[in-house]
């Protein structure tokens, strides 16, 4: 399980490094190449999100006692992903302003005002995204706690079942022991009865012999 996570982790590191490099290059590229790089970055960001989802699924399958370390790493990767998206938005806004200025011929002041307005909207979106991310993280942690509780209940149920099985085995053994003891007592009583019977026969035989002996004299 951890090997799969580490594989996704390596792919995510390579992909985010490529995205970071391309975002940094966008302002210095010619318009035609910028358009291609922006489209490529959008695609790679989607791939990075898919990798994060796969990593998140892998973390949920890890036993609770080992999950903490991976959860911390996931939080770091999600923060890194958020920073990449913010940097890309700013780069894309600058790219959009540049294209619009080239097409419409806007003056510098109008472009600056529009850029400030767009950046303000971007910051609002970022704050909303952070709140959504915090809510999502709380939901994930709550789900993890619920899973841990279910696992603990499952372990307790297994323990109770094993205890019941041991009790059944003990009852069965006690039943066998009771039957053995009953058989032994029965044989003891039979043996004592035979001994008493033999003693009576012996006494009768002795008395008979004495009686015959006395009559002869």
User: For every one of its 217 residues, what pLDDT tens digit does the chain have, with 9 covering 90 and above?
Assistant: 567 888 888 999 999 999 999 888 887 888 888 888 888 999 999 999 999 999 888 888 888 888 888 888 899 999 999 998 898 888 776 555 454 444 444 444 455 556 555 666 666 666 656 666 665 676 566 667 657 766 776 777 788 888 788 888 887 788 787 788 888 888 888 888 888 888 898 889 888 888 888 877 6
Per the structure, how many domains does the chain have?
A: 1
DSSP string, 138-200: HHHHHHHHHHHHHHHHHHHHHHHHHHHHHHHHHHHHHHHHHHHHHHHHHHHHHHHHHHHHHHH
pLDDT value of residue 14: 92
In b/e form, how buried is each residue of 83-112, taking b as 16+ CB within 10 angstroms?
ebbebbbbbbbbbebeeeeeeeeeeeeeee
Q: What CATH number is given to the structural domain containing 50?
A: 1.20.58.400
Q: Name residues whose C-beta falls within 8 Å of residue 52's C-beta, 6 or more positions apart in sequence.
A: 12, 74, 77, 78, 81
- Classify residue 194: in a domain, yes or no: no
pLDDT value of residue 149: 66
- Classify residue 13: in a domain, yes or no: yes
- Classify residue 165: in a domain, yes or no: no
Q: What residues make up the domain containing 66?
A: 2-101+133-156
Please state, in angstroms and rounded to a whole number, the distance separating the CA atoms of residues 97 and 33. Answer: 16
Q: What predicted TM-score, i.e. pTM, was given to this entire model?
A: 0.44
pLDDT value of residue 1: 52
- Classify residue 216: in a domain, yes or no: no
Q: Return the closest-CA partner of residue 201 out of 212, 190, 213, 209.
A: 209
């Amino acid at each position: 399980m951890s090997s799969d996570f580490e594989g996704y982790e390596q792919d995510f590191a390579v992909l985010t490094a490529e995205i970071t490099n391309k975002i940094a290059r966008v302002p210095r590229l010619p318009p035609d190449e910028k358009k291609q790089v922006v489209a490529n970055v959008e695609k790679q960001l989607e791939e990075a999100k898919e990798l994060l989802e796969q990593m998140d699924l892998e973390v949920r399958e890890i036993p609770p006692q080992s999950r903490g370390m991976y959860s911390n790493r996931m939080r770091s990767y999600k923060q890194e992903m958020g920073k990449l998206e913010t940097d890309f938005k700013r780069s894309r806004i600058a790219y959009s302003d540049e294209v619009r200025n080239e097409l419409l011929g806007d003056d510098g002041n109008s472009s600056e005002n529009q850029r400030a307005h767009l950046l303000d909207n971007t910051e609002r979106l970022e704050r909303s995204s952070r709140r959504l991310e915090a809510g999502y993280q709380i939901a994930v942690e709550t789900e993890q706690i619920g899973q841990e509780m279910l696992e603990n209940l499952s372990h307790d149920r297994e323990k109770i079942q094993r205890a019941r099985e041991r009790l059944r085995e003990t009852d069965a053994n006690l039943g066998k022991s009771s039957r053995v003891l009953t058989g032994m007592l029965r044989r003891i009583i039979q043996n004592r009865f035979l001994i008493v019977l033999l003693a009576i026969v012996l006494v009768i035989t002795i008395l008979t012999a004495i009686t015959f002996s006395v009559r002869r004299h």
